[in-house]
Amino acid sequence: MGYYDIDDILADSVEIPCKFQHDIPGLGYLENNPGKPVKKNAKLELPLWLARILAIIDGDTNEGELNQDEESVPFVELLTPDMFSPKVINAIKADPTSLDLHAINSYFYALALKWISLFSDREFADIVTTLLLERSQAINNHASSVSVEFKSSLDSVRGTQVTAGASNAAASMFLLTLDEFEKKVYKKSHESYKETKKWMFEK
């Protein structure tokens, strides 16, 4: 994931529920009332790019040596967002392929990856791994079922070449549930299968 990666930037702007662990003056605009302080234990939704940093840096850094002995408390505590709640995890365990990942979050894998590296959550990593593996089978099936109308391209009567035939309803239903990463994979592999098939049967 690069610095200039658009999908990464969009994934980083997804909001995560956070709990503030300090009173902080001046930051009220995060709660949409500027000028006021943010109170301790206030729950807000912060974009991941902000929340990730605030969850690591502790609020005592500028107070120096006064309370070095105490364990430092970071500005915010990240709360588990809906997309990683037990409800979703159970749904993943039950049937990965029928899950509507796009509705849960369109950057599910990117966020899961960030979440896993933040909390070093091996259990969740295993769940996401099986999720990806199971869904990739279905993606490959849909990507490889290329219906190319060779007739029209060979006849060249119509001039326009109909390459992608009418994809059936079941396929398009599944494709609507793909998250952004899976869409990319689908697009690329579909293109690859299509190019190969075209090369095999034309000329």
Partner 1 sequence: MSLPKHLQETFSPEEIQFIVENEPIKIFPRITTRQRVNMVNKNASQHWKLITTDDWALNNMVATQSTTVVLWIALLLKQQSKCSIVAPEWLTVRALDRHIQYEKKNTDRFSELPWNWLVLARILFNRAPEDFHDPVHELRSRIQDLREIRQTKVLKGLKYLNESHLQLDNLSLLEINELRPFIVDIMDKLREIHSAAVVAGNEDGNNEEDDFDFS
Query: Of residues 76-115, which lie at the interface with partner 1 (CB under 8 A)?
Result: 109, 112-113
Show Cβ contacts of residue 18 under 8 Å, excluding neighbours closer than 6 positions: 43, 44, 45, 46, 51, 54, 55, 76, 77, 78, 79
Is residue 116 near partner 1 by the rule CB under 8 A? Answer: yes
Which residue is listed with tokens 């070449």? 161
Which residue is listed with tokens 């006021």? 36
**Phi-psi domain of 120 (left: phi exceeds 0; alpha: psi -120 through 50; beta: other):** left
Is residue 171 near partner 1 by the rule CB under 8 A? Answer: no
Is residue 68 near partner 1 by the rule CB under 8 A? Answer: no
- Give the per-residue contact string, 125-164, with partner 1 (x = CB under 8 A; - = no): x--xx--xx--xx-xxx-x---------------------
Residue 192 C-beta: closest distance to partner 1, Å: 5
Is residue 193 near partner 1 by the rule CB under 8 A? Answer: yes
Residue 36 carries which DSSP code? Answer: S
Residue 203 carries which DSSP code? Answer: -
Give whichever of 22 and 198 is closer to partner 1, judged by the CB atom: 198
Paired tokens of 150: 């060779």
Stretches 27-35, 59-67, 157-165, 180-188: which one binds partner 1 (CB under 8 A)? 180-188
Residue 56 carries which DSSP code? Answer: T
Asked if 151 contacts 163 with a C-beta cutoff of 8 angstroms, the reply is: no
> Which of 117, 145, 147, 172 touches partner 1 (CB under 8 A)?
117
Site residues (CB under 8 A) for partner 1?
109, 112-113, 116-122, 124-125, 128-129, 132-133, 136-137, 139-141, 143, 181, 184-185, 188-189, 191-193, 195-196, 198-200, 203
